[in-house]
Amino acid sequence: MPDAVLPHARPVPLDKAYRLINHGPTVLVSASHGDQVNAMAAAWACALDFSPPKVTVVLDKSTRTRELVEASGVFVLSLPTVAQASLTVALGTDSAKQVHDKLARLGVQTVPAPGSGAPLVPGCVAWLVCRVVPEPHNQQAYDLFIGEVTAAWADERVFRDGRWHFDQAPDALRTLHHVAGGQFFAIGQAVSGTPTE
Amino acid sequence: MPDAVLPHARPVPLDKAYRLINHGPTVLVSASHGDQVNAMAAAWACALDFSPPKVTVVLDKSTRTRELVEASGVFVLSLPTVAQASLTVALGTDSAKQVHDKLARLGVQTVPAPGSGAPLVPGCVAWLVCRVVPEPHNQQAYDLFIGEVTAAWADERVFRDGRWHFDQAPDALRTLHHVAGGQFFAIGQAVSGTPTE
Q: Do A106 and B196 touch (CB under 8 A)?
A: yes
pTM of the model: 0.96
Q: Identify which of A125, A23, A110, A25 has the alpha carbon closest to the alpha carbon of residue A75.
A: A110
Question: What was the pLDDT predicted at A197?
Answer: 44
Question: What was the pLDDT predicted at B1?
Answer: 62
Lowest mean pLDDT among A86-100, A114-128, B9-23, B151-165: A86-100
Q: What is the Cβ-side half-sphere exposure of residue A40, based on CA atoms within 13 angstroms?
A: 27
Q: Does A93 touch chain B (CB under 8 A)?
A: yes
Residues of A in contact with B191 (CB under 8 A): 82, 85, 176, 183-186
Instruction: Annotate chain B with three-state secondary structure.
Output: CCCCCCCCEEECCHHHHHHHCCCCCCEEEEEEECCEEEEEEECCEEEEEECCEEEEEECCCCCHHHHHHHHHCEEEEECCEHHHHHHHHHHHHCCCCCCCCHHHHCCCCCEECCCCCCEECCCCCEEEEEEEECCHHHHHHHCEEEEEEEEEEEECCCEECCEECHHHCCHHHCEEEEEECCEEEEEEEEEECCCCC
Helix or strand or coil: residue A13? coil
Task: Give CA–CA dist A20/A9, Å, rounded.
Answer: 13
Question: What was the pLDDT predicted at B2?
Answer: 55
Question: What was the pLDDT predicted at B197?
Answer: 44
Q: Which residue has the higher pLDDT, B43 or A95?
A: B43
Task: Give CA–CA dist B92/A126, Å, rounded.
Answer: 26
Tell which of B94, B167, B173, B191 to mutate to test the A interface (max A CBs under 10 Å).
Answer: B191
Q: Does B56 touch chain A (CB under 8 A)?
A: yes
Condensed to tens digits (0 to 9), the pLDDT of residues A172-195 reads 999 999 999 999 999 999 999 986
- Which of B93, B142, B182 has its CB closest to that of A192? B182
- Which of A25, A86, A138 has its CB closest to that of B196? A86
User: Strand pairing partners for A78?
Assistant: A28, A127
Mean of all residue pLDDT scores within chain A: 95
Task: Give CA–CA dist B186/B26, Å, rounded.
Answer: 10
Residues of B in contact with A185 (CB under 8 A): 23, 164, 166, 187-191
Q: Does A105 touch chain B (CB under 8 A)?
A: yes
Please name the amino acid found at residue A117: G
Contact A185, B191 (CB under 8 A): yes
Q: Which residue has the higher pLDDT, A2 or A164?
A: A164
Question: What was the pLDDT predicted at A98?
Answer: 85
Read off the DSSP letter of residue A181.
T
A100 pLDDT band (50/70/90 cuts)?
confident
Average pLDDT of adjacent 10-residue blocks, chain B of 197 residues: 80 98 98 96 97 97 96 98 97 85 94 96 98 98 98 98 95 97 96 75
Task: Label residue B102 exposed, middle or buried (CB < 10 Å: 0-12, 13-18, 19+).
Answer: buried
Condensed to tens digits (0 to 9), the pLDDT of residues A43-58 reads 999 999 999 999 999 9
Sign of CA dihedral A103, A107, A108, A109: positive
Q: Do A144 and B48 touch (CB under 8 A)?
A: yes
Question: What was the pLDDT predicted at A103?
Answer: 94
Task: Give CA–CA dist B105/A86, Å, rounded.
Answer: 47
